[in-house]
Amino acid sequence: MKNVTVILIVDRMQQLMKDKDNGLKLDSMFYRTLIFFANLTFSDTFMIPVCTSTITELIDGVLRNLTRDRIYLPVPSLQLPNDQQEVPVFKNDKITNTIVENCGEHRRTLEVLNDCLNGHSIKECNVDTLMNDLCYNLTKKYCDTIFSFVKEVRPIARTILTRRLLNKYKTIPKTDKTPDEFVEGGMIRFEQIENTLKGYFTIPYIWL
């Protein structure tokens, strides 16, 4: 095995989190498992362990600062899904289509919207109430992420609305963060221009 390169991928690490702060505690099952796989790099076999985890909060609030590299995977756009019977999850009517479009094919936003619509007919419900419920549930689910941007709301909104060209690793004007740091919460997406470090912020209309 010494002449073999092994890439070990451990997915869904979040399943080991019994509490929100497990990633900050050295004695938690999550953290001990993470360190175990990380230490496999010191074995005789050339091994590259990769651990993935899905979170809805800022990384610094759920994981201790490590010397290992952390890579923030983008949240790709989602084509409207069908259920197991191949029936569209969202009804094809004018009001529903408008609300879905405002979610900008953002996976997490569409997930919350689906929860809000579950068991309700769009024709019978009050749209204002539905949008208030959607806003409330989004804020509740992504509270830490949303309120971490309070100080940067204006410069970020200006950057998005003016389609400003950004460098992935350079701080955004009137903030102390880079685009890479802003996308870690999953709300904002960075559309990178191919073969460059530059790109643009995009965000579902509903977040604005």
Number of domains the chain contains? 2
CB 20 within 8 A of CB 62: yes
User: Would 12 be classed as within a structural domain?
Assistant: yes
Give how far Cα 113 sits from Cα of 100, 171, 182, Å: 8, 33, 23
Q: Residue 184: which region, alpha, beta or left (left: phi > 0; alpha: psi -120 to 50)? A: alpha
User: Would 137 be classed as within a structural domain?
Assistant: no
User: Would 109 be classed as within a structural domain?
Assistant: no
Tell me the pTM: 0.54
Write down the residue that tokens 């619509």 correspond to.
117
User: Would 36 be classed as within a structural domain?
Assistant: yes
Residue 190, domain extent: 151-207
Per residue in 76-86, pLDDT (tens digit) is 666 666 665 66
Among 30, 61, 92, where does a domain finish? 61
pLDDT band at 5 (very low <50, low <70, confident <90, very high): confident
Q: What percent of the chain has pLDDT over 90?
A: 4
Write down the residue that tokens 């009001």 correspond to.
95
User: Would 27 be classed as within a structural domain?
Assistant: yes
Among 61, 79, 102, where does a domain finish? 61
CB 182 within 8 A of CB 188: yes
User: For 14, how many CA atoms within 13 A lie in the half-sphere containing its CB?
Assistant: 10
Q: 41 in helix, strand or coil? A: helix
Can you give the pLDDT at residue 122?
76
DSSP 193: P
Mean pLDDT across the chain: 79
User: Would 19 be classed as within a structural domain?
Assistant: yes
Looking at the DSSP assignment, which residues form a beta bridge with residue 166?
199
Among 61, 81, 105, where does a domain finish? 61
Write down the residue that tokens 């997915």 correspond to.
11
